[in-house]
């Protein structure tokens, strides 16, 4: 957006005016809304044992999508101005702002440089990787990148791999969790050179013809082997009683003193132990075991070899910066923002959301990107849209936080605003469809069957958010008669894990068209 940052100081300084006018608008909206909960929702709340003062609901019918701000009516407002923990529903704010500011076709780059020369098919010198925060640099993309290197006439590499992560401030790359689970993939911190979410994904499958298991994994890493020590039993496959664990360590039979100084040259072994039923199939096991440099180096080494390249010696993976005398090798563009938004919202990918949030700071303020920079860009965009969210707290833009906060009313206001933006269709398409996609593929399946006879069936595109003591939904319901509802419902309560029925009853009520228009007041 032209001039977006030229007026950022003025916009931030004008926040008090918006706070006052925003409060006036909120009060008007509240007086027009129904505060009676639908009977089905009320009964579900009673069955759950969750207190009504732990619930916040905002429902608005969007009458004219092209002009949603003035052509909408509030259907339900239950404690909707209370500040609540949004969990992953805050990803809607992150992706919407990014889509509008950067555009759906925005692509991330990974730039490669060298301080050496290419002679007789050999690159003699180091390769420098300058990362810009590509949130999905996965094996397929890395194979394309190494293929482009081969097209430069390089067959052999005689040098090390140097990683320049200067795009991000150091503090945003530190390992910080809200639950202490450092080895869980959902806790992976941002990285300008994030490879395959820094996560090893194993799949355990039973062999039909023998009492053994096959173990495969992705992404392929050089010098990693698997030791399968899982014992097999004949019990039923009980997901709650699977006793399997993995340890990844240097192979004691193949490690030398020199290798220990260069972790990327070590022969690693992933040892699986435990007891598992032969009736179990397709078991997924994700873990984060390697530091960023080692993981990228082992991954790039494997991808280079898969592309037909060879090494003069095993490369070391080191942190550094691109020297001024280095010359460009290639610039690789990854996926676009529209595709990234689909992954973020349909599958609730935390680290991708965090990287999109930091990309706002990187592109609009400059490097090193940090959380305050991303927050400034988001809040300036809100004010440019005429929106005041005084209770908004942004810690990382993904919802993996105990501190992030927003009200149901204001998150719903964001959904209403989105309908009038040029990128509205791309944003709505990024939300998972209940009963068929992403985190809600198993939701509302029974309820949706009631509409199979209809030519135009209702559709629920909803983002979920879940933390311990938090269960939330936010998105759109397209009812059986074609009405469009923006709906946000937050449950912040020790019994929140019992709250799914409450949300499903609310969504079912809206699919059936909610209240009669004459009942709204």
What is the arithmetic mean of pLDDT over 373-402? 97
SS3 state of residue 154: coil
Match 């050496």 to its residue by tokens: 116
Q: Rg of the chain's alpha carbons, rounded to an integer?
A: 26
> Does pLDDT of 149 surpass 60?
yes
Q: Looking at the structure, do residues 366 and 278 belong to the same domain, yes or no? A: no
Output the CA–CA distances (angstroms, integers) from residue 241 to 44, 215, 275, 276, in the order listed. Answer: 31, 19, 10, 9
pLDDT of amino acid 257: 53
Q: Looking at the structure, do residues 260 and 362 belong to the same domain, yes or no? A: no
How many domains is the chain partitioned into structurally? Answer: 2
What is the arithmetic mean of pLDDT over 146-159? 97
Is residue 185, in this structure, part of any structural domain at all? no
Is residue 131, in this structure, part of any structural domain at all? no
Is residue 297, in this structure, part of any structural domain at all? no
Q: Looking at the structure, do residues 376 and 505 belong to the same domain, yes or no? A: yes
For residue 71, the domain's CATH number is 3.40.710.10
CA–CA dist 462, 508 (Å, integer): 13
Q: Looking at the structure, do residues 403 and 507 belong to the same domain, yes or no? A: yes
User: Which residue has better confidence, 1 or 347?
Assistant: 347
Q: Looking at the structure, do residues 509 and 370 belong to the same domain, yes or no? A: yes
CA–CA dist 395, 374 (Å, integer): 10
Peptide bond into 368 cis (omega under 30): yes
How would DSSP label each residue in 26-82?
A: HHHHHHHSB-PPPHHHHHHHHHHT--GGGEEEEEEEES-TTSTTTSEEEEEEESTTS
Peptide bond into 219 cis (omega under 30): yes
Output the CA–CA distances (angstroms, integers) from residue 419 to 416, 428, 471, in the order listed. Answer: 5, 8, 25
Q: Looking at the structure, do residues 480 and 392 belong to the same domain, yes or no? A: yes
> Does pLDDT of 191 surpass 90?
yes
Quote the percentage of the chain above a pLDDT of 90: 78
Q: Where are the beta strands (DSSP E) in 303-419?
A: 310-311, 317-319, 327-336, 406-407
> Does pLDDT of 8 surpass 50?
no
> Does pLDDT of 288 surpass 60?
yes
User: Which residue has better confidence, 79 or 2?
Assistant: 79
Is residue 473, in this structure, part of any structural domain at all? yes
Find, among 17, 57, 66, 64, the residue nearest to 37 by Cα: 57
Q: Looking at the structure, do residues 246 and 342 belong to the same domain, yes or no? A: no
Confidence of residue 25 (pLDDT cuts 50, 70, 90): very low
Yes or no: say if 139 and 295 are a contact pair by the CB < 8 Å rule: no
Q: Looking at the structure, do residues 354 and 228 belong to the same domain, yes or no? A: no
Q: Looking at the structure, do residues 390 and 270 belong to the same domain, yes or no? A: no
Match 């349909």 to its residue by tokens: 346
Output the CA–CA distances (angstroms, integers) from residue 15 to 4, 371, 421, in the order listed. Answer: 16, 19, 22
Domain boundary, last residue among 287, 318, 349: 287
> What residues make up the domain containing 205?
200-287
Confidence of residue 22 (pLDDT cuts 50, 70, 90): very low
Is residue 305, in this structure, part of any structural domain at all? no
Is residue 171, in this structure, part of any structural domain at all? no
Domain boundary, last residue among 228, 256, 287: 287
pLDDT of amino acid 67: 81
Yes or no: say if 116 and 154 are a contact pair by the CB < 8 Å rule: no
Is residue 118, in this structure, part of any structural domain at all? no
Output the CA–CA distances (angstroms, integers) from residue 219 to 129, 137, 299, in the order listed. Answer: 19, 11, 7
| Burial grade of 252 (CB within 10 A; 0-12, 13-18, 19 or more) | exposed
Q: Looking at the structure, do residues 283 and 349 belong to the same domain, yes or no? A: no
Residues sharing a CB contact under 8 Å with residue 166, sequence separation 6 or more, in sequence order: 130, 192, 321, 367, 368
Q: Looking at the structure, do residues 13 and 76 belong to the same domain, yes or no? A: yes
Is residue 446, in this structure, part of any structural domain at all? yes
Domain boundary, last residue among 258, 287, 316: 287
Find, among 387, 502, 520, 468, the residue nearest to 56 by Cα: 502
CA–CA dist 155, 308 (Å, integer): 7
**Cα dihedral 100, 101, 106, 110 sign:** negative
Specify whether the backbone of 103 is left (phi greater than 0), alpha (psi in -120 to 50) or beta: left
> Does pLDDT of 1 surpass 50?
no
Q: Looking at the structure, do residues 271 and 343 belong to the same domain, yes or no? A: no
């Amino acid at each position: 957006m032209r001039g977006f940052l030229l007026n950022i100081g003025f916009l931030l300084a004008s926040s008090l005016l918006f706070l006052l006018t925003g409060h006036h608008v909120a009060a008007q909206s509240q007086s027009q809304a129904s505060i009676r909960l639908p009977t089905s929702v009320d009964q579900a709340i009673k069955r759950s044992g969750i207190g009504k003062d732990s619930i916040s609901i905002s429902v608005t019918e969007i009458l004219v999508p092209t002009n949603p701000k003035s052509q909408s009516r509030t259907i339900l407002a239950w404690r909707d101005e209370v500040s609540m923990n949004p969990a992953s529903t805050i990803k809607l704010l992150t992706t919407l702002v990014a889509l509008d500011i950067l555009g759906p076709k925005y692509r991330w780059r990974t730039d490669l440089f060298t301080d050496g020369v290419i002679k007789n098919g050999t690159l003699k010198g180091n390769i420098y990787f300058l990362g810009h925060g590509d949130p999905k640099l996965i094996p397929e993309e890395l194979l394309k990148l190494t293929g482009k290197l081969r097209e430069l006439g390089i067959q052999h590499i005689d040098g090390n791999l140097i990683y320049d992560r200067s795009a991000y401030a150091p503090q945003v790359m530190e390992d910080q969790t809200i639950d202490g689970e450092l080895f869980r993939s959902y806790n992976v911190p941002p990285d300008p050179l994030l490879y395959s979410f820094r996560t090893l994904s194993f799949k355990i499958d039973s062999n039909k013809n023998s009492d053994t298991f096959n173990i495969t994994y992705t992404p392929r890493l050089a010098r990693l082997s698997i030791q399968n020590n899982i014992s097999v039993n004949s019990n039923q496959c009980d997901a709650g009683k699977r006793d399997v664990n993995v340890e990844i360590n240097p192979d004691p039979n193949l490690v030398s003193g020199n290798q220990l100084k260069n972790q990327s040259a070590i022969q690693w072994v992933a040892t699986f132990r435990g007891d598992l039923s032969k009736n179990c199939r397709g078991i997924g096991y994700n873990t984060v075991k390697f530091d960023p440099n080692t993981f990228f180096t082992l991954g790039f080494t494997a991808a280079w070899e898969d592309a037909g390249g060879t090494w003069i010696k095993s490369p070391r993976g080191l942190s550094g910066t691109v020297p001024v005398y280095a010359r460009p090798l290639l610039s690789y563009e990854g996926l676009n923002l529209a595709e990234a938004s689909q992954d973020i919202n349909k599958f609730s990918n935390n680290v991708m959301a965090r990287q999109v949030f930091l990309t706002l700071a990187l592109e609009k303020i400059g490097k090193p990107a940090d959380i305050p920079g991303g927050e400034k860009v988001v809040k300036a965009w809100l004010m440019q849209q005429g929106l005041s969210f005084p209770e908004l707290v942004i810690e990382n833009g993904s919802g993996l936080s105990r501190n992030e906060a927003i009200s149901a009313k204001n998150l719903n206001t964001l959904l209403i605003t989105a309908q009038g933006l040029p990128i509205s269709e791309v944003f709505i398409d990024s939300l998972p469809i209940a009963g068929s996609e992403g985190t809600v593929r198993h939701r509302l399946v029974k309820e949706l069957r009631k509409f199979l006879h209809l030519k135009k069936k209702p559709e629920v595109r909803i983002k979920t958010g879940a933390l311990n003591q938090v269960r939330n939904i936010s998105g759109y319901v397209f009812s059986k008669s074609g009405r469009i509802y923006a709906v946000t419902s937050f449950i912040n309560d020790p019994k929140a894990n019992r709250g799914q029925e409450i949300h499903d009853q609310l969504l079912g009520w809206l699919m059936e068209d909610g209240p009669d228009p004459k009942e709204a007041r």
